[in-house]
């Protein structure tokens, strides 16, 4: 059930936490972060939603309903593992050896 209330403010429509649902697609307009709500919790009188995009909590009244297709988000760990694999491949291949041939082993600090 996707019942929620919207307050119009400027060019954005902010959501108020009456009845929002887990799985609802929302966007945080300040950064453009878009994601689906994973969980909802109350803290010090404010309602927050955790987004699947980054695992961060956002105040419900700062979120707006999102539409369109979701942008694929690659977790940082996957990016790091891919980068490490690329670096290892470069170090093991001829690219590193070619780069090392073109240096004269001097240290020029300049100054």
Residues 1-14 have pLDDT tens digits of 444 444 444 444 55
Q: Indicate whether 58 and 11 sit together in one domain.
A: yes
pLDDT above 70 (res 93): yes
13 within some domain: yes
**Are residues 50 and 78 located together in one domain of the fold?**
no
In this structure, is residue 91 part of a structural domain? yes
Same-domain status, 45 and 79: no
Number of domains in the chain: 2
pTM for this entry: 0.48
d(C-alpha 95, C-alpha 35), whole Å: 40
Residue 80 belongs to domain spanning: 72-102
User: Would you say residue 109 lies in a domain?
Assistant: no
Residues 18 and 44 reside in one and the same domain? yes
pLDDT per position as a tens digit, 46-72: 889 999 989 899 998 888 888 765 555
pLDDT of residue 4: 47
């Amino acid at each position: 059930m996707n019942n929620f209330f919207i307050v119009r403010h400027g060019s954005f429509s902010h959501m108020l936490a009456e009845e929002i649902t887990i799985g609802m697609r929302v966007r945080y307009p300040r950064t453009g972060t878009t994601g689906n709500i994973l969980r909802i919790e109350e803290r010090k009188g404010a309602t927050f939603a955790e987004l699947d995009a980054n695992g961060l909590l956002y105040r419900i009244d700062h979120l707006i309903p999102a539409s369109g297709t979701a942008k694929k988000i690659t977790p940082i760990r996957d990016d790091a593992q891919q980068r490490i694999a690329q670096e290892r491949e470069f170090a093991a291949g001829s690219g590193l050896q070619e780069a090392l041939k073109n240096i004269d082993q001097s240290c020029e600090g300049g100054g």
